[in-house]
Structure 1
Amino acid sequence: MSFNNVFGGIARALSHSGYRLLWWSNGTNTVGRWIFKVSVGWLTWEMTGSTAWLGIVAFADTFPMVIMTIIAGVWADRIGYLRLMKYSQLILVIGGFITATLALVGALNVELIIILCVIVGSAEAMTIPARMSFVHNLVPKSDLSAAIALNSTTYNVARFLGPALFGILIQFIDISFIILVSAIMFFIFYIALFFQENDEIVNSGGNKKRILGDLLDGFRYALSNSGIFFLLFLLCVTAILIRPYIELVPGIADQVFSMGAEGVSIILSSTGLGATVGGVLLARHGKVEGLTSIFTWSLVISAVAMVLFLFSQNIWMSSIFIALVGMTIVAGSITSQTLIQNTAPDQLRARIISITAVLSWGLPAVGAAVMGWVAELIGLTITLLAGSIVTGILWIWAHVERKKYSIILEKQ
């Protein structure tokens, strides 16, 4: 059995040197980003012991994606994907090193964490549409689906490795040095960008009015195409009702399982491991057919698995259920992104991608802030349970409608 037969589209995607460089360097950067996220979350919990503050910090870190990613989709078309990534990644590197320095000298407080999370989150948001669209320049269209799935898989491997490395490092070194490690990983990706070939700038001109028009064109298309709107609406559901648990994990580990850093590492690593398995399976799948059904089924499976996670009293049993949540979240993300790229026209693709990025990474910040506040009143378990129940109810409608929309989304 040949290497290509075993790994399918994964091997084909990695055969392209430019994509291979982007894959491993951005993978390193993403591991660092998760180490940074868990580190500032843990610092916040140590300083405040408050789920509300956890939600606020998560909001500060992630919400910039709601605004900046949309704008970045237009900017990327105007100044070039690679140039925008270089500018944005430099800001990310600077933000990471400032955070590490303040932690090292003992000057970091929750207010500064919020400010620095806004800076780092905004810089990351600016890279997302450019980084996702840049893949089109690195692989032929026949390998694009596999490359997209592999990128998502790598993100979730990083979500597994980042918290796992944090859990190991926190046993031996001070958290300020862990943040420094994450900043160095940001820097590795920044340097690697200078070894990529420059992309062509398709849309270098234009004024502010045209930029606004470009933004509106993307939104109009997303709202007018019933298949894409179906996907975006259900992405909103998981982004607000299921996905925010990740930002609240320090509180879940403490309040639900009476554990500290070890519990955080187990929950997040299990999430990432499950997501990795789901991503690999979809990368090998390599076909558009059937993705709408996978997308809709992921909703109800994630809701049921979340309920089982909350009511299991054993952290290791719960890790199995939360791994299933991670698997279904990434399945929804990969299938929706692939279906949208299959449906959207070339001239609007970057803007539609920026909208999906906002829903995948920006809206959970809103959900985390709201859930953190509600959990202060009624507890984390009841808050997360309510989100799962509402998701399950909405799945009933999605399951009935999926065949109609699959005709639009899976058309070749």
Structure 2
Amino acid sequence: MKLASSAEFPLPPAAPMSTAKVGRYNPLLALKDLHYRRFAIGSIVSVLGMWMQKIGVAWLAWELSKSPFWLGLIAAADMLPSIFLSSFAGSLADAHDKIKVLRSAQSVAIMQSVALAFLSWFGLTTVEVLFALTLVLGVSSSLEQPARLSLIREIVPPDYLHAAVALNALSFNLARFVGPIIAGVLISEINVGVTFAASAVAIAFFSYALAVIQVQKVADRPADPVQKAGTTDGFRYVLGNRSLLATLGLMGMTGISVNGILQMLPAVSDALFARGIDGFVGLMAASAFGSIVSGTITLARPPSAQGALSIALAALCATAALAVLALTPSFHFALVAIFCMSFANMYAGIGGQALLQLESEPGKLGRVMGIYSMIIRGGPAVGSFFIGAAATFVGMVIPVVGVAALAACYSGLIALAFRQRRS
């Protein structure tokens, strides 16, 4: 079968989602394109594996140390490298073949997962070794994610671009919550090492999928790799666009608060409700269900159609639910709170990613996605580290409510500013 060439569907300029008129969405239309279909299937399998590993690492860290500090530190090791590397990785994505960047980073991730599976299966893992291997994965993921997120614009033809962005954002966010559920069952019923082995297989599957897709040529890719696609260009570009800047700020605040506590659920289950692994699985199941319901609803009307205002309101609801989660003494009410938190967080996450993808210029998308990756990975690292460190001295409730209140205030101010701007 003849593969489509880049000349048959040249890369279009981005259509501003926050201002464009958007009707009823059908993201499944994007799956008509063979190359996007391969990318989408490989990507969601890979992200499922990644989140299975994250939960396996979090639970193993808690089992080895029973320390909120170590749990937060290891979560930070996974995500903190993105603060230093994601902007540079975004420049690489704009300047180089994104598939080569992706597959190189994935090779490191596969070796890391295999090593962790072997050590865990034979009971050789210590909390220090777990920290070191998690740091390796954090570096690999930081270099990979901007290329992964921006590659979609080089795969699909123009007619399917909006649908592909929505479906990509939906599948990415759904996998963030479905993967941990699978991991929780595997940990409970078999062994934590199985989650790491499954992660290695999932990453290898995506690497194979990337080898059989064809991408378009980006006309304005810099000829001189990193120098002309400088990392500071992305920050200057974002600072000049209010919608992009506000959206990235919202993603940062929900990352520190909502996604930060999602890294700490083993401690939440044990320290707040004394429920152990069963409570952990229950919290993750409620979180996954809220995300799936939210994602299904946004298939018809993505939040990015309304711009940063709807994203800010969703972030405000998510952070309010987080405060309720920390304050309630009832585990059953906590399940309701985490459902609501994940519902709103999913809505904001899909809207934020779609808005960034579709408002960014094609030649700067990698750098914007680099900043986005830095925020969504670095935010939870900062949040989980702060919550874990503070919980060592004052317990879980005060730091969780504190970050929730801070994020809620910011989200409310952004919502108010954009509401006044619209009126």
Give TM-score scaled by structure 1 length: 0.90
What are the residue-to-residue correspondences of 1:4-403 with 2, within 5 Å? 8-200=25-217, 203=221, 205-206=223-224, 209-211=227-229, 214-286=230-302, 288-403=304-419
Over 3 Å counting, the alpha-carbon distance change for 1:235 and 1:11 in structure 2 is: closer
Alpha-carbon distance in structure 1 between the residues aligned to 2:314 and 2:95: 36
* Per-residue deviation, 1:297: 0.8
* Per-residue deviation, 1:316: 3.3
Alpha-carbon distance in structure 2 between the residues aligned to 1:166 and 1:31: 9
* Per-residue deviation, 1:46: 0.8
Unaligned runs of 5+ in 2: 1-23
| Cα pair 2:85 2:142 within 8 Å, conserved | yes
| Cα pair 2:303 2:348 within 8 Å, conserved | no
Alpha-carbon distance in structure 2 between the residues aligned to 1:71 and 1:86: 17
Three-state SS of the structure 1 residue aligned to 2:217 is coil
RMSD between aligned residues: 2.2
* Per-residue deviation, 1:204: 6.2
- How many positions carry a matched residue from both structures? 399
Which stretch of structure 1 is more off in the superposition, 307-316 or 200-209? 200-209
Over 3 Å counting, the alpha-carbon distance change for 1:143 and 1:280 in structure 2 is: farther
Q: Which residue does 2:5 correspond to in 1?
A: none
Alpha-carbon distance in structure 2 between the residues aligned to 1:338 and 1:256: 35
Render the CA deviation track for 1:194-221: whole Å, top value 9, x for unaligned: 111255365364265445xx21111111
| Cα pair 2:52 2:182 within 8 Å, conserved | yes
Alpha-carbon distance in structure 1 between the residues aligned to 2:76 and 2:342: 20
Unaligned runs of 5+ in 1: 1-6, 408-412
| Cα pair 1:80 1:201 within 8 Å, conserved | no
Three-state SS of the structure 2 residue aligned to 1:280 is helix
Runs of 4+ displaced beyond 4 Å: 404-407
Alpha-carbon distance in structure 2 between the residues aligned to 1:67 and 1:150: 29
Alpha-carbon distance in structure 1 between the residues aligned to 2:49 and 2:80: 19
Which stretch of structure 1 is more off in the superposition, 255-264 or 311-320? 311-320
Q: Which residue does 1:4 correspond to in 2?
A: none
* Per-residue deviation, 1:111: 1.0
* Per-residue deviation, 1:303: 2.1
* Per-residue deviation, 1:384: 0.8
Q: Which residue does 2:13 correspond to in 1?
A: none
Alpha-carbon distance in structure 2 between the residues aligned to 1:209 and 1:147: 31
* Per-residue deviation, 1:163: 2.0
* Per-residue deviation, 1:16: 1.2
Over 3 Å counting, the alpha-carbon distance change for 1:204 and 1:300 in structure 2 is: closer
Alpha-carbon distance in structure 2 between the residues aligned to 1:31 and 1:405: 39
| Cα pair 1:55 1:371 within 8 Å, conserved | yes
Render the CA deviation track for 1:57-89: whole Å, top value 9, x for unaligned: 000011122222211111122221111111111
Alpha-carbon distance in structure 2 between the residues aligned to 1:386 and 1:169: 33
Alpha-carbon distance in structure 1 between the residues aligned to 2:255 and 2:58: 19
Render the CA deviation track for 1:297-339: whole Å, top value 9, x for unaligned: 1122112211222233333332221121112222222222222
Alpha-carbon distance in structure 2 between the residues aligned to 1:219 and 1:292: 19
* Per-residue deviation, 1:127: 1.8
| Cα pair 1:84 1:130 within 8 Å, conserved | yes
Amino acid at match of 1:249: L
| Cα pair 1:13 1:144 within 8 Å, conserved | yes
Alpha-carbon distance in structure 2 between the residues aligned to 1:380 and 1:372: 8
Over 3 Å counting, the alpha-carbon distance change for 1:399 and 1:373 in structure 2 is: same
* Per-residue deviation, 1:278: 2.1
Q: Which structure's relative contact order is higher, taking Cα pairs within 8 Å and 6+ residues apart?
A: 2
Aligned-pair identity in percent equals: 24
Render the CA deviation track for 1:358-398: whole Å, top value 9, x for unaligned: 11122210111111111111111121111222223333322
| Cα pair 1:13 1:143 within 8 Å, conserved | yes
Alpha-carbon distance in structure 1 between the residues aligned to 2:311 and 2:121: 44
Over 3 Å counting, the alpha-carbon distance change for 1:93 and 1:406 in structure 2 is: farther
* Per-residue deviation, 1:143: 2.8
